[in-house]
Each structure stands twice: as structure tokens, then as C-alpha cells.
């Protein structure tokens, strides 16, 4: 990686507040616009060597700044090609550039590191890089990205990526984005991917395993491919056979698919839940087998490509926007594919929630409840209540425009409320306040 020439300072921007749920994650004093990662991974000893270049812009004047990175051994740190002083402890790599960076200055950071990657501890278990029986996968939501690369781990700080992974040749490597090259040497292969769409750090993924590619759809605009263990290729083709129809339907109701490709990985392990990433979804072997409970997961993860990945939340207090819209996508697909209607799915969800504690405030659930199943169900119910209030014509126009106007952008609950209001026949404050701000479950509107 050769140092880039200095660039002219950019106009300064306001410094964003820390994430309310993860105030120690990220550093809002700068923004990253590109990551270039060169990784070498050995599955047997679970050994990772990395060289990372971050191209960033100082939001405010910087005499030091912080990257999020787990406990790897640091080889060297450069700022604009010159050696920089640093400290590395408690998951923070604090860097002091050779000379202060003025507000608006573009700069690069190079970090060389080695070690044995392992998940970041969290209340939800390990997050990030996970060693499998034979290979590895990355599932970083919400704060697992530092388990494998130095980053500014804030969902609002979206950047483009080029990621090169070298690993023994029997293994396939899947990364979100377009495969640029695959070069095989005597015993290793290097896979190089480019993700040109702005991507949140937690949505960057890598899967390494002895997988066979299965083409689901040779669509000219959206290639859809699976990477699965050889013995599961037939089951995968059967269980994901309707995904191309889902893609076509979601393209109708949400607008064009926002990325260049969509890849599904079935890791050769059982996983608690599937995991979405930018242009990729990762499932476990336990998610094959057919039936609605599995098919809804296929729809849910696909819908996240629009809601959560392309249209991203500014901080984790708005997570209902991701999960509520993806949950409602499940109900829309059920309705479209000949299953129960969205009305019936909503009625079932409402009955379920009515028997559970009424202590979740959807628009700001708190860190403890941000992945509570009630948030998903209630989020879907809000969307259904809006459909009933707007009528189908205005509702589906609103959804398409939301995905279009904010494509590859960052949003909040306030943005969504303001957007929906433009399609309503009258004020929706009471509906929004009841569903988003109060913990008590409102009555289900009549269809």
C-alpha cells in the first residue's frame, strides 16, 4: 500500500454525539470513506495477519484519534505514510499523528497486525470473527467488527471496501461485493472483493469454508449465488428456490435491489439465527428443511438489503426501523405467495404480544431490549398500522420512496415519521406516539 498524496482540506462538519447504547464504540471526530484490507488467514491455527488502510477525513482538528481493534499484536501504524505513535488497550488503538490534522483534512491510516481472532464479548454472546470446525465466519451486529479489522465502529460511518483474503486453496472465501480476482498459487488462493456501496462496519462479512457455489438466478442485474457444503447443495437449491421470486417481488414493492449481487452462505454449523450483511446473508445448517419458519427467514434477510443495509440507522436506538420493516416483509411475502395475509399475520402477532410484558418502548428500547423478539413483532405491527392508515396505494408508494430517497444513506425514527407524514391524509401523531413512544400495546387497527 503506497502512501497517497495529501489532499485539500474539506469543509468541517459537526461532530456527532456518541452512540447512546455503545458510547465507547467509534470516534465521531473523523469519518472513514474507504477501507482497504489485505488479510491472510490460516484455518488450522486460526491465524490472521492483516494490513489495513483507512482513508478518512477529520471532522474536527485532531492531535489524536481512536480506532476500534481487538487485542491483536500491532506491527506498525502509519498516518499519511509516516510512523505514528500509538497505544493499544481495551479494544482501542489510539493514534497520535506525526503532526496535528486540521478540521476537514483528508488522511490515511495504515495498520499492520497479527493474531488469533476471536469474537468480542457481549450480552448476546460472541460477536464478530468466529472460528468454525473447518473455516470461519463473521457476524458482527452490533459491535463485532473490531474482532478482525481496525475500524471506526459506528453504524452511521459508512464507507466503501476492498478486501483481499488469502487462504489455503481448498477453501472458498465469500465477502460482500463483487469478486474482482481470484488468484491461485502453489497452495493458497487470494480472493479480492470490491464493495462500492457505502457500508456500515457491522455489515462487512467474511465466510471461509469448503463450499460449493450454487447459482440460484442468472439475473442480468442481480446475480444470486449460494455457497454451501457439497452434501447440502440439493437441499439448499430446494429451500432457496423461491428466493429469485422474492427478489422480484421485493423489487416491485421496495424498489430496485440496492446492490450489485446477493450471496447466501450456509455455514457448515448450526447457528442461533441467520445474519445479514451487505449483499450477503449467512445461515446455519439448521435453517434448511423447508416450511414457513425457514422461508420467512429467507425473506427477512433479503429484505434487510433494503432496510438496514442500504437505508441504515444513525445509531442503535433506531433499530426498530431495520427489524420492523424486515418483519413486515415476511408478512408481505406470505400474502404474495399464497400463505396467510398480512392482516392475519398481524393479528397473530398482536395476540402474541398482548400476553407478554408491556415494558418495551419501540423507538428507544434500550440496549437490553434491542434484540428482544417483541421489538420485531411490534415493529411489524407499526408498519401494518401505517398501511391501514394510508391505504395500499399511498403505503406502497411511501415504502418505495423511503428506500429510494435514502438509498445508501443514514436515517432516524424522526426521519421516518416526517417521511410517512407526506403520504397521509391527516395527522399521524397519535398513531406514531402510541406505537413508538408508549410501552402499552395499542389496539390493532381494523382492516
Identify the domain boundary among 153, 188, 207: 207
Write out pLDDT tens, residues 92-144. 999 999 999 999 999 999 999 999 999 999 999 999 999 999 999 999 999 99
Question: Same structural domain for residues 225 and 335?
Answer: no
Residue 7 pLDDT exceeds 50: no
Q: How confident is residue 14, by pLDDT bands cut at 50, 70 and 90? A: confident
Q: Do residues 225 and 297 both lie within one domain? A: yes
Q: Are 225 and 136 in contact (CB under 8 A)?
A: no
Q: Across the strands, what pairs with 343?
A: none
Q: Is residue 249 part of a domain?
A: yes
**Cβ(212)–Cβ(227) under 8 Å?**
yes
Three-class DSSP category at 221: coil
Domain count, the chain: 3
On whether both 234 and 370 belong to a single domain, the answer is no
Q: Answer left, alpha or beta for residue 362, where phi above 0 means left and psi between -120 and 50 means alpha.
A: alpha
Are 218 and 363 part of one and the same domain? no
The verdict on residue 120 lying in a domain is yes
Q: Which residue do the cell numbers 422480484 mark?
A: 248
Do 11 and 148 lie in one domain? The reply is yes
Q: Does 119 share its domain with 233?
A: no
446 in any annotated domain: no
Which pTM value belongs to this model?
A: 0.95
For residues 100 and 37, membership in a common domain is answered with yes
Answer yes or no: is 235 within a domain: yes
Task: Read off the pLDDT of residues 289-337 as tens digits, 9 standing for 90 and up.
Answer: 989 999 999 999 999 999 999 999 999 999 999 999 999 999 999 999 9
User: What's the rounded Cα separation, in Å, for the pair 92 and 106?
Assistant: 22
Mean pLDDT check: name the lowest of 4-8, 247-251, 257-261, 366-370. 4-8
Each residue's pLDDT tens digit, 419-428 = 999 999 999 9
Phi, psi of 395 (to 5 degrees): -65, -50
pLDDT at 306: 98
Shared domain check, 216 and 203: no
User: Around Cβ 96, how many Cβ atoms within 10 Å?
Assistant: 16
Asked whether the predicted pLDDT for residue 263 surpasses 60, the reply is yes
Q: What does the mean pLDDT of the chain come to?
A: 95
pLDDT at 93: 98
CB 206 within 8 A of CB 309: no
**pLDDT of residue 270 exceeding 90:** yes
Q: Report the percentage of the chain scoring pLDDT > 70.
A: 96
101, 66: one domain: yes
What stretches of 75-182 show up as alpha helix (H) in DSSP? Answer: none
Decide: 334 and 389 in contact? Cβ < 8 Å: no
Predicted confidence (pLDDT) per residue in 185-202, tens digit: 989 999 999 999 999 999
Alpha helices by DSSP H, listed for 12-88, are none
**The pLDDT of residue 6:** 43
Please state, in angstroms and rounded to a whole number, the distance separating the CA atoms of residues 323 and 328: 8
Question: Does one domain contain both 15 and 66?
Answer: yes
| Pair 216, 224: CB distance under 8 Å | yes
- Is residue 328 in a domain? yes
Are residues 89 and 73 located together in one domain of the fold? yes
For residue 145, the model assigns a pLDDT of 98
Q: How confident is the model at residue 55 (pLDDT cuts 50, 70, 90)?
A: very high
CA distances to 176, 301, 351, 363, 444 from 381, rounded to whole Å, are 31, 18, 11, 13, 8
CATH number, domain with residue 283: 1.10.390.10
Helix (H) or strand (E) holding 108: strand 106-115
Question: Helix 373-390 crosses helix 342-354 at what angle (to 10 degrees)?
Answer: 130
CATH number where 92 lies: 2.60.40.1730
pLDDT of 3 above 60: no
Last residue of a domain, one of 290, 305, 320: 305
Whether 180 contacts 59, CB under 8 Å: no
Spatial contact of 120 and 126, defined as CB atoms under 8 Å apart: yes
pLDDT in tens, 84-98: 999 999 999 999 999
Query: Would residue 31 be called left, alpha or beta, if left means φ above 0 and alpha means ψ between -120 and 50 degrees?
Result: beta
Establish if 447 belongs to a structural domain: no
Determine the structural domain holding residue 330 and report its residue range.
312-437
User: CB-side exposure of 219: number of CA atoms within 13 Å?
Assistant: 20
Q: Per the structure block, which three cell numbers stand in for 384?
A: 401494518
Residue 359 lies in a domain: yes
Is 55:102 a contact under the CB 8 Å cutoff? no
* Residue-level pLDDT at 302: 98
pLDDT of residue 5: 42
Domain boundary (305, 329, 348) is at: 305
**Residues 212, 140 contacting (CB under 8 angstroms):** no
Give kind and range of the element (H or E) at residue 96: strand 92-96
Q: What is the mean pLDDT of residues 407-428?
A: 97
- In this structure, the answer to whether residues 90 and 196 fall within a common structural domain is yes
Amino acid at each position: 500500500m503506497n502512501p497517497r498524496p495529501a489532499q485539500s482540506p474539506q469543509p468541517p462538519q459537526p461532530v456527532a454525539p456518541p452512540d447512546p447504547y455503545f458510547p465507547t464504540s467509534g470516534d465521531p471526530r473523523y469519518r472513514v470513506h474507504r477501507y482497504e484490507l489485505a488479510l491472510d488467514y490460516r484455518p488450522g491455527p486460526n491465524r490472521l495477519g492483516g494490513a489495513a488502510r483507512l482513508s478518512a477525513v477529520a471532522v474536527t482538528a485532531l492531535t489524536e484519534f481512536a480506532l476500534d481493534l481487538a487485542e491483536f499484536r500491532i506491527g506498525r501504524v502509519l498516518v499519511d505514510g509516516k510512523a505514528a505513535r500509538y497505544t493499544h488497550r481495551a479494544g482501542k488503538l489510539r493514534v497520535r499523528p506525526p503532526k496535528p490534522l486540521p478540521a476537514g483534512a483528508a488522511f490515511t491510516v495504515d495498520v499492520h497486525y497479527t493474531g488469533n481472532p476471536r469474537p468480542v464479548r457481549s450480552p448476546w454472546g460472541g460477536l464478530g470473527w468466529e472460528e468454525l470446525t473447518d473455516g470461519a465466519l463473521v457476524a458482527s451486529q452490533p459491535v463485532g467488527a473490531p474482532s478482525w479489522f481496525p475500524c471506526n465502529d459506528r453504524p452511521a460511518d459508512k464507507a466503501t471496501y476492498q478486501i483481499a483474503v488469502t487462504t489455503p486453496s481448498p477453501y472458498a472465501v465469500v465477502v460482500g461485493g463483487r469478486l474482482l480476482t481470484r488468484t491461485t498459487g502453489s497452495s493458497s488462493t487470494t480472493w479480492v472483493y470490491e464493495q462500492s456501496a457505502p457500508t456500515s462496519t457491522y455489515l462487512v462479512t467474511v465466510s471461509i469454508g469448503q463450499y460449493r457455489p450454487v447459482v440460484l438466478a442468472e439475473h442480468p442485474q442481480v446475480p444470486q449465488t449460494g455457497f454451501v457444503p457439497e452434501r447440502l447443495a440439493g437441499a439448499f437449491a430446494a429451500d432457496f428456490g423461491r428466493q429469485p421470486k422474492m427478489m422480484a417481488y421485493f423489487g416491485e414493492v421496495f424498489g430496485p435491489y440496492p446492490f450489485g449481487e446477493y450471496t447466501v452462505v450456509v455455514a457448515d454449523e448450526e447457528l442461533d439465527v441467520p445474519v445479514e450483511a451487505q449483499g450477503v446473508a449467512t445461515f446455519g445448517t439448521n435453517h434448511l428443511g423447508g416450511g414457513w419458519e425457514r422461508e420467512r427467514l429467507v425473506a427477512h434477510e433479503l429484505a434487510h438489503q433494503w432496510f438496514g443495509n442500504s437505508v441504515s440507522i444513525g445509531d442503535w436506538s433506531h433499530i426498530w426501523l431495520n427489524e420492523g420493516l424486515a418483519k413486515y416483509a415476511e408478512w408481505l411475502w406470505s400474502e404474495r405467495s399464497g400463505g396467510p395475509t398480512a392482516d392475519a399475520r398481524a393479528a397473530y402477532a398482536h395476540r402474541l404480544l398482548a400476553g407478554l410484558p408491556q415494558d418495551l418502548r419501540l423507538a428507544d428500547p434500550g440496549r437490553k431490549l434491542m434484540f428482544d423478539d417483541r421489538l420485531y413483532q411490534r415493529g411489524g405491527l407499526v408498519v401494518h398500522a401505517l398501511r391501514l392508515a394510508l391505504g395500499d396505494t399511498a403505503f406502497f408508494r411511501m415504502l418505495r420512496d423511503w428506500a429510494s430517497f435514502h438509498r445508501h444513506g443514514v436515517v432516524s425514527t424522526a426521519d421516518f415519521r416526517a417521511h410517512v407524514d407526506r403520504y397521509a391524509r391527516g395527522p399521524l401523531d397519535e398513531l406514531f406516539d402510541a406505537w413508538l413512544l408508549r410501552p402499552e400495546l395499542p389496539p390493532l387497527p381494523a382492516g
